[in-house]
Amino acid sequence: DSGVTQTPKHLITATGQRVTLRCSPRSGDLSVYWYQQSLDQGLQFLIQYYNGEERAKGNILERFSAQQFPDLHSELNLSSLELGDSALYFCASSVRTSGGNTGELFFGEGSRLTVL
Amino acid sequence: GQNIDQPTEMTATEGAIVQINCTYQTSGFNGLFWYQQHAGEAPTFLSYNVLDGLEEKGRFSSFLSRSKGYSYLLLKELQMKDSASYLCASSDRGGYNKLIFGAGTRLAVHP
């Protein structure tokens, strides 16, 4: 158990719909990262937040948005869903210390989204 | 930009040794990670290299050459449970340690 919690674990929806994926980072971790993994593909970086602020953006579609709340949990919103959005969405967290850190990411178990 | 290359698939025999290579081209390099991922599960951390050389951790070792943009993961005494994907990832200093992953190497261990 990494300590990162993601909900829901599974989600089935139709094209054109909107869904929200939720992530609670490990206690004390300030950074949250979202990754998308399509079938038999690598992890594609979407977006990163640090202590409530967006820090880095990857190949995230305009139909997707995210935020990190004051309690440090994060949500990834996916709208106008298409068949190609079907994937595993992973959230990860890491701690940033004044002394530096390895940057190791701790991953949640993922939310499997199926768009029909 | 960042580019990470690793072989797509490898096979090996139980009890043997296998080396999975990774080459990378990144800006703001801040370390090289290896993760293990079983199908449908979350990636789990295996190793981290930021300085040149070999890091050993039990049956797993990882090597880094920053000048060559090259790393490898060495798995010894292979077990069936080592059948998984192995992900090479580069850390971006400018991106608050965001990790950019390669596509992964799917390792199949046979009896």
At A44-69, the pLDDT tens digits run: 999 999 889 998 899 899 999 999 99
CB–CB contact B96 A42 (8 Å): no
Residue A62: what residue type? Answer: E
Of B97, B102, B104, the CB nearest to A103: B97
A38 interaction partners in chain B (CB closer than 8 Å): none
Of B40, B48, B98, the CB nearest to A45: B98
Residue A20: what pLDDT? 98
Residue A94: what pLDDT? 87
B98 interaction partners in chain A (CB closer than 8 Å): 33, 45, 48, 55-56, 58
Residue A40: what pLDDT? 74
CB–CB contact A42 B44 (8 Å): no
For residue B55, the SS3 value is strand
Residue A33: what pLDDT? 94
pLDDT tens sequence across B65-78: 999 999 999 999 99
Site from A5, A41, A104 to mutate, B interface, most B CB atoms within 10 angstroms: A104
Q: What is the mean pLDDT of residues A68-89?
A: 96
Burial of B4 (0-12, 13-18, 19+ CB in 10 A): buried
Chains A and B: how many Cβ contacts under 8 Å?
A: 68
Q: What is the mean pLDDT of residues B83-111?
A: 88
CB–CB contact B103 A41 (8 Å): yes
Judged against a pLDDT cut of 90, whether residue B1 lies above it is answered with no
- pLDDT band for position A42 (50/70/90)? confident
What value does the mean pLDDT of chain A take? 91
Exposure of B67 in the CB half-sphere (CA atoms within 13 A): 2
Distance CA B21, CA B26 (A): 16
Site from B34, B47, B98, B106 to mutate, A interface, most A CB atoms within 10 angstroms: B98
CB–CB contact B95 A56 (8 Å): yes
Residue A99: what pLDDT? 43
Q: CA torsion sign, B107 to B45 to A101 to A4?
A: positive
Rounded to whole angstroms, the maximal C-alpha distance in chain B is 44
Residue A72: what residue type? Answer: L
Among A89, A80, A115, which residue's Cα sits nearest to residue A23?
A89
